[in-house]
Structure 1
Amino acid sequence: MAYGTAYKAHDKGPGNEMTEYGGTGDPARSLAILWRTGERPSRKGKPDLGVDRIVRAAIEVADAEGLAALSMRKVAEQLGVGTMSLYTYIPGKAELIDVMVDTVYGELPMPEEVPGGWRARVELIARENLALCRRHPWLLQVATTSRPPLGPNVMAKYDFELRAVDGMGLDEIEMDLLVTLINGYVHGAARGAIEAAQAEKQTGLTDEQWWWAHAPFLAKVLDPRRYPTAARVGEAAGEAYKAAFDPERTFEFGLRRVLDGIEAFVRSRD
C-alpha cells in the first residue's frame, strides 16, 4: 500500500529533524483505536475525554510546536487532565501518532466526480496533499511509506487515489506505483515549501531579504570562469525568484512534468 505512519523508534531524517517510526504496538489494540471498536464510554459526571478529543489536542500541539514537542504529558496539559487518564484510551505515543495521521487524512476532500479526466483528478490529489502537509508540517516527520496505520481515513484516501487512476489501462500494481509516485513527489515539494516558510519564521528574514543580503558578496567571490554554468543559471534564477529557491514555481513546474510523464507512459501502453 502507498501509505504509512510513524512510531516508537526514531532517528534523524532528512534535514536532521526527528523522524518517528513504528508498527511495534499490538496490532489488535492499534486497529481497535483506529476504528474506534473498543472505546469505553465516559463515566457519568466525568468529562467526555475519549480518543477523538485526545487526538485533536495532540494535533494542536504538533501543529504549533512540532512532533518533537509531542508527548502524552504535553497532550494532558493541553486538555487540563492528568497524564495517566490518557492511557485509558490510548496506550502510548506510538498509537497516538497512528491516530493523528489517520485523523488529518480525513481532512482531504474526496469528491465523487472531478471534471477534466485523470489529469484533473491527479492534480487535485497533488494539490490537496500539498495543502495538508503545509497545514500539518509534522506529517513530514512521520515515516509514511511502508507501514500505514490502516485506519478508516487512510483506507479512504488510498481508495480515492486509486480510483483517480483507474480506467487508464494500468494493471493493479502500476496503479499502486502511480499513487506512490504522486504522493512521493508531493512530499518532496512540501518539504521544500515548509523549510522555506520555517526559515523565515526562525530568522525573521524573508527569502528576498536573505538573497539581497548575500548577493553582493556572492558576486565578489563567485568566479564565472570557474563555475560558468552555475554563474549563468544562478544569476537568472536569483533575478527571477528574488531568492535561491521558489517553492511555488518549483511545485507547479514539477507537477506539470509528473503529469506529462504519466501521460507519456499511458500512451506507450496503447
Structure 2
Amino acid sequence: MTETTSARIAADLRSRIAAGEFAPGDRVPSTRELTRRWGVAMATATRALSLLQDEGVLRSVRGVGTVVAVRPSSARPARRRGAGPSPARDDIVRAAITIADAEGPATLSMRRIAADLGIPTMTLYQHVASKDELVTLMIDRAFGEEPLPAQASPHWREALEIAARLEWAVFRRHPWLAPAMSLTRPQLVPSALRYTEWVLAALDGLGLDPDRAFNIHIMVFSYVRGMAVNLESEAQAEAESGLTADEWMDAHAGTLTSLAAGGDFPHVRRISVLDFDLDLDALFELGLRCLLDGLRGVLP
C-alpha cells in the first residue's frame, strides 16, 4: 500500500514538473506538505521524494530542501574536447568544495565537477589522480581558511581553546568535512598539521612525554570532530525530509509525550515539558569547557 501511494505521489509531482508548475531549481513540496495534502505517513512522503531523486528529477540542496534538478537543456553547456584552457588544480578543488557545501558529499563526483567547470571529465585527471586525492586537497584548503594566530598563547588552556574553536568554525562552514576525515588513517595535509604543531607547542615544557602530549591533541580534536559529524547528518536529513530539527521534534512530540507519560521516565518528561531546544554551538562550548577542566588533573 505504502509503495503504491509513494509511486502515486511521485507521479503527481513528476507530471506537475513536466507541466512547468515547478521550474529547474524550484523547491518542491516538503515531506510535511505532502503528508498533509495526501494524508500519509512521513515515511511514505519521504519515499516519494526519494523515488524522484533516484530518477534524477529532484536533488537535495543544503539549506534549501528538495528542488527540481537542472534539465540537461538548461545546464551550462560543456566545452568541446580540446576547447578552452584547462582548469588549474585550485579551480577544481574550489568547485568540489562548492558542490559539497551546497549539496553534500553524496553528490560529489568527478563527472559532476567536470560538468560545473564545463570540461570533459578526463581533463580533471590531468590535475587530480583520484577522488581520494581530491578530498585530501579539499581538507587541506578548508583548514587553511582558518589560520592560527601568528603569536602563540602563553598558557596551554588558552592555546587549546583557540585551536578547538577555529576547528569548530571550519567544520561549521563545511559540514561534509568531519565525516570525510579519518582518525585512525588521517589525511596528512599541511594546514591540519599546523593545528597539531600548535597544540604540541602549547603542551611543550609541561613535563609530558611526546606520546602523552600527542594523545591529548588527538583527544581534543576527536571531541571537536565528533560534535561536528552531526552537522552533515542533520543537513542531509533536513534536505531529504524538508524538516528542520525543531520541526522534526515537533512532529514526534506526541511519541515522546506518550513514552514519558507512563511514569517510567520522569526526568525525560521534565525535559519535554520545558520544550528543550538543542543548540549545537552551546553544547560544543559546554563540552569543551568540561574537557579542558578535566585536563587540569594531568596538566599544571
Using structure 1 for the length normalisation, give the TM-score: 0.70
Aligned pair 1:184/2:222, yes or no? yes
Match of 1:150, SS state, is coil
Asked if structure 2 preserves the Cα contact closer than 8 Å seen for 1:208 and 1:242, the reply is: no
Counterpart of 2:97 in structure 1 is 59
Question: Measured at CA, do residues 211 and 99 of structure 1 come closer, stay the same or move farther in structure 2, by a change above 3 Å?
Answer: closer
Counterpart of 2:297 in structure 1 is 264
Matches within 5 A, 1:195-210: 195-210=233-248
Q: CA deviation at 1:148?
A: 3.3
Structure 2: 5+ residue stretches without partners:
1-82
Matches within 5 A, 1:122-141: 122-141=160-179
1:233 to 267, 271, 275: 267
Question: Measured at CA, do residues 266 and 191 of structure 1 come closer, stay the same or move farther in structure 2, by a change above 3 Å?
Answer: same
Q: CA deviation at 1:48?
A: 5.4
Percent sequence identity is: 38
Number of aligned residue pairs = 218
Matches within 5 A, 1:30-179: 47=85, 49-113=87-151, 115=153, 117-179=155-217
Asked if structure 2 preserves the Cα contact closer than 8 Å seen for 1:193 and 1:248, the reply is: no
Equivalents in 1 of 2:141, 2:258: separation in Å?
51
Counterpart of 1:36 in structure 2 is none
Matches within 5 A, 1:23-34: none
Question: Measured at CA, do residues 113 and 104 of structure 1 come closer, stay the same or move farther in structure 2, by a change above 3 Å?
Answer: same
Counterpart of 1:42 in structure 2 is none
Q: Which amino acid aligns with 2:298?
A: F
Higher relative contact order (CA 8 A, sep 6+): 1
Deviation digits for residues 50-92 of structure 1 (CA, Å, limit 9, x no counterpart): 2111111111122122222211111111111111111111122
Counterpart of 2:47 in structure 1 is none
Match of 1:99, SS state, is helix
Q: Which amino acid aligns with 1:232?
A: P
Higher mean alpha-carbon deviation, 50-59 vs 108-117, is at 108-117
Asked if structure 2 preserves the Cα contact closer than 8 Å seen for 1:211 and 1:242, the reply is: no
- Greater than 6 Å deviation, 4+ residue runs: none
Q: CA deviation at 1:185?
A: 0.4
Question: Measured at CA, do residues 239 and 195 of structure 1 come closer, stay the same or move farther in structure 2, by a change above 3 Å?
Answer: farther
Q: CA deviation at 1:122?
A: 1.0
Q: CA deviation at 1:177?
A: 0.5
Higher mean alpha-carbon deviation, 206-215 vs 186-195, is at 206-215
Deviation digits for residues 171-220 of structure 1 (CA, Å, limit 9, x no counterpart): 21111101100111011111234444544444343434443443345333
Q: CA deviation at 1:251?
A: 1.4
Q: Which amino acid aligns with 1:261?
A: G
Counterpart of 2:27 in structure 1 is none
* Structure possessing the higher radius of gyration over alpha carbons: 2
Counterpart of 1:31 in structure 2 is none
Equivalents in 2 of 1:265, 1:197: separation in Å?
37
Question: Measured at CA, do residues 232 and 167 of structure 1 come closer, stay the same or move farther in structure 2, by a change above 3 Å?
Answer: farther
Match of 1:49, SS state, is coil
Counterpart of 1:249 in structure 2 is 282
Equivalents in 1 of 2:247, 2:281: separation in Å?
18
- Root mean square deviation, CA, Å: 2.6
Equivalents in 2 of 1:94, 1:259: separation in Å?
34
Equivalents in 2 of 1:191, 1:213: separation in Å?
24
Structure 1: 5+ residue stretches without partners:
1-44
Equivalents in 1 of 2:105, 2:285: separation in Å?
28
Asked if structure 2 preserves the Cα contact closer than 8 Å seen for 1:67 and 1:141, the reply is: no
